[in-house]
Amino acid sequence: MLFSYNPHGMTLRGFARLLAAFLPLAAAWPCSAADFDDFAPGAKAMGMGMAYSAVADDAYALFFNPGGPANTPYAQASASVGRQLSPVGTMSYAAMAYMRPFELINTATVGGAYMSIRQLNGGDKDELRFNYSQEIKVPQLLLTKPLKVGGDWKFLNINEGHPGSSSLFGMGLDFGVLARSNFGLSGSAVMSDLVTNVGQPRPKFNFGLAYVWHKWLTIAADTKIRQNLTDFYPGVEASFYEGMLKVRAGRGFQLDGVSQFAWGLGFNLSPLVLDFAMTLPSGGIHRPGGGFQMSASWRFGAPSFTGNFVGSAASSAQSLQSEIEKLAERKKAADEEAATAETHRQISEAELGVLEQRVKEVGEEYRGLQRKKEEAEFGLKESELDEAARKAPKRAPPIIRPPPPPKKPSWPQRHVVKPGETLRSMAKTFYGDGNLWELIYDANRDKVERGLPQEGSEFVIPKPPKP
């Protein structure tokens, strides 16, 4: 389930937890010094501190994980030379490797490699191996990518360098698998050196993890186990300038018990690839340790770096152009939808105008009918009244008596002053002429203050003069 889960971008902390799971395994075994029998060539692997089985993406993957080369897209030929110091003596080595797609099977790769090691006071080793690897799909494992599996058939000739020792010839098998996820995590398991007796402790096991973070940083770790030896190798690789430059670092191969720090550089001048690696003794440069290795690889049929860079730029430009075209199509579709919506709006407004006109006409028709109804009712009522008047008996006309003459007011009159009344207003009320106010004033001088009648007082209204 680890490789089928997609967390949309694992963090470095998450990968560190995965690496931490291997530490107890590395500490649980008794340790001893690795010798030249445990060494594998490849400047890229050496620069990453030998943490390479879960990466395994060049021709020297044959020495680290026989399943790594599966489904390689083009043939590769590589050569390496190097030298490493140790308390036992200087170790010199050279290696060549070749692999190519196997045309008869679509996802298969075949290859071969040769390595020669010579260590002063340590012994000699020659190794020739042949590789077959292939990608296979295993639905039961819930893998998001095909599983890479492979094996090496190898021939060895070893002389351990002891006084009186002779060369031993043997044959053996290596097996490896590489599982990959769709979010940059990969894992490997390798069983190697299933060989006839050539004086070496066998077999060996290797378990690796690698994680590619944001396509430019690779973090890897290998745990190597054999009789009396368990070791843990971490390493990193950072890619710059579209992969043209790669910087590597790691713990390094512990030759004859000397702790090492490894670093390296890679130059992708496709189809030519150059790798350089160095190791330094971590306990101090005065110790007898450290070394270097150089590798050169040619990838037949691989695109040139310039072409690949231009191709990447062109691909990015094409992707952008495709996105622009999609956006233009979406804009066009949106404009068409907007035009259709506008047409529908205009049609709806026209229909609404027609309905409003029809409602207006119906309202006018209703009001006309209402008037006709009222006229008809009025005519009917008038007819009924005329008919009732025609049928009613005739009566004598009523006697019209003239109205009685109005009573003459009696003088003097009494009046209680109301709020807001003045002498003129009272003269206007009783005499019909406000200019006769002096008559009222003369009759009520004691009830007038400052030209105004006292509110609530009772005034005597004298008789007005005759006209």
Whichever domain contains 38, its CATH number is 2.40.160.40
In a shared domain, residues 187 and 322: no
In a shared domain, residues 64 and 54: yes
In a shared domain, residues 291 and 347: no
What values do phi and psi take at 137, rounded to 5? Answer: -100, 130
Query: CATH no. for residue 445?
Result: 3.10.350
Is residue 443 in a domain? yes
Token pair for 34: 């690795």
Is residue 173 in a domain? yes
Q: Residue 6: what pLDDT?
A: 41
Is residue 326 in a domain? yes
Question: Hunting for tokens 């710059």 — which residue is that?
Answer: 240
Tell me, what DSSP letter sits at residue 103?
A: T
Residues 69, 113 contacting (CB under 8 angstroms): no
Is residue 3 in a domain? no
In a shared domain, residues 246 and 325: no
- Picking from 120, 68, 60, 141, the residue whose alpha carbon sits closest to that of residue 95 is 60
Is residue 396 in a domain? no
Is residue 373 in a domain? no
Decide which of 344, 362, 380 is a domain's last residue. Answer: 362
Decide which of 302, 331, 352 is a domain's last residue. Answer: 302
Decide which of 281, 302, 323 is a domain's last residue. Answer: 302
Q: Residue 309: what pLDDT?
A: 57
In a shared domain, residues 292 and 318: no
Token pair for 467: 């006209």
In a shared domain, residues 457 and 342: no
In a shared domain, residues 307 and 294: no
Sign of CA dihedral 74, 38, 203, 219: negative
Distance of CA 331 to the CA centre of its chain: 24
14: left (phi over 0), alpha (psi -120 to 50) or beta: alpha
> 92 - beta bridge partners?
83, 118
Which structural domain range is residue 339 located in? 303-362
In a shared domain, residues 294 and 312: no
The tally of domains found in the chain comes to 3
In a shared domain, residues 276 and 330: no
Q: Residue 17: what pLDDT?
A: 54
- Please list the rounded mean pLDDT of every run of 10 residues in the chain (467 residues): 39 49 41 75 95 94 95 94 92 96 93 95 92 91 88 91 78 94 93 82 88 94 88 95 93 89 95 95 82 96 73 68 87 91 90 89 87 80 77 67 72 88 88 86 87 88 83
In a shared domain, residues 288 and 314: no
In a shared domain, residues 166 and 145: yes
Return the SS3 of 204. Answer: strand
Q: Residue 84: what pLDDT?
A: 93
5 vs 50: CA distance, rounded Å: 28
In a shared domain, residues 161 and 275: yes
Q: Residue 408: what pLDDT?
A: 72
- Picking from 14, 100, 27, 447, the residue whose alpha carbon sits closest to that of residue 302 is 100
Q: Residue 168: what pLDDT?
A: 86
Residues 185, 21 contacting (CB under 8 angstroms): no
Question: Hunting for tokens 């799909």 — which residue is that?
Answer: 137
Is residue 398 in a domain? no
Q: Residue 179: what pLDDT?
A: 94
Return the SS3 of 433. Answer: coil
Is residue 367 in a domain? no
